[in-house]
Amino acid sequence: MRGPSSHPVLLLLFLTLSVWTAAASGFRICSYNVQNFNRNKASNYRVIHTLTRVVSRCDICLLQDVRDPESKAVKALLSSLNRYEDEYHYKSVSSEALGKSADDMQQYVFIYRTQTATLTDQYQYRGGQSFIREPFIVQFESKDTMIKKFILVPLHTDPSQAVQEIDRLYDVFTEVSKKWNNTNVMFLGDFHAACAYMTRADKKNIRLFTNTKFSWLIRDKVDTTVTDDTNCAYDRIVVYGEPFLKAIRPFSAKVYNFAKELKLPRSKVLQVSDHFPVEVKLRSSALLLQATPLLILLVQTFLSAL
């Protein structure tokens, strides 16, 4: 039997289809409140296995509510990811422990694929009394995305201060966009931006709502929680400016219900968290635009050669 390599046109067609498929898949950014992720939790094989399957889908994944000062839980997850995936290698960057009380110190952790994302800078915001857990801000660059260089600002709000903390993200945006001369900024995390913690009336007091240059990609009526007891859009993704919005794949911002996708019982999902991850895809680079006409030309050439 003759394979694609036995016919030069078929080989070119195969390679072009491979490029087109890779480009069309998009660059996925995820955000997940992993609810008290610590060394003990990471020692549970089922938890690590499930978390590995979830995080391995993402080019960059923000984890929140990580309580891992010795980095043993994160190292266990990275080790599992790097065993699970042959195609990609994963690294992480973590904030210091953040919080106001010794029994509630948390870290922001970004896990990323080194083949598709390059960490170019990091910055711990210092806002005085502005936040319980100040954003740990990172800047990434990717050759695979249309937008190339972008800033990620994480926030896990204190529920009692959700409205005030979300509003103060505007001040973070002003500072970090000036610091790195880059307005391609995405905010993501468990904002508690729904139900009793943030009402419709509260929006007039939040600059990320009143300034129309900010686009909320996870809508108010989306449920990002696991149990039937809550139906709230706590977890959000927000981007600034038309250039970044145009770099988002349409309809790609969503909740990843891995209970349904991976056919897991709710009890196993709740072992990881009572939240589902949220995600969005960035449009691929110009490689896709270059590949499409070439693909059409090759198909025409192949058909004429038959």
Task: Say if residue 203 is in the same domain as residue 155.
Answer: yes
Q: What is the dihedral of CA 264, 266, 270, 273, to 10 degrees?
A: 70
Say yes or no: 7 and 42 in one domain.
no
pLDDT, residue 129, reads: 78
Residue 205 and residue 171 in one domain: yes
Pair (269, 186) in one structural domain: yes
Residue 259's pLDDT is what?
97
Model pLDDT, residue 303: 45
- Give the up-direction half-sphere exposure of residue 14: CA atoms within 13 A in the CB hemisphere: 9
In DSSP terms, which residues pair with 185 in a beta bridge? 151
Do 13 and 131 share a domain, yes or no? no
pLDDT at site 286: 57
Count of residues for the chain? 306
Give the pLDDT of residue 105: 97
| Containing structural domain, residue 178 | 27-283
Does one domain contain both 67 and 99? yes
Gyration radius of the chain over CA positions:
21
User: Does 74 lie in the same domain as 59?
Assistant: yes
> What pLDDT was estimated at residue 154?
98
Give the CATH number, domain containing residue 193. 3.60.10.10
Average pLDDT of the residues of the chain: 89
Note the pTM of the prediction, 2 decimals: 0.87
Q: 290-299: which pairs have CB atoms within 8 A and are 24 or more residues apart?
A: 291/16, 291/19, 291/20, 291/23, 292/20, 294/16, 295/13, 295/16, 295/17, 295/20, 298/9, 298/12, 298/13, 298/16, 299/13
Question: Quick one: 251 and 117 in the same domain?
Answer: yes
Q: Let me know whether 60 and 95 are in one domain.
A: yes
Cα gap 261→218, rounded to integer Å:
19
What confidence tens digit (pLDDT) does each residue in 167-198 have? 999 999 999 999 999 999 999 999 999 999 99
Are 93 and 113 found together in one domain? yes
Write out residues in the chain with pLDDT < 70, as ranges. Answer: 1-24, 286-306
Of 295, 21, 24, the residue nearest 146 (C-alpha): 24
Q: How many domains does the chain have?
A: 2
In whole angstroms, what is the distance from residue 182 CA to residue 187 CA?
14
On whether both 222 and 244 belong to a single domain, the answer is yes
262, 298: one domain: no
Residue type, 5: S
d(CA 89, CA 80): 11
**What is the pLDDT at residue 110?**
98
- Structure confidence at residue 292 (pLDDT): 47
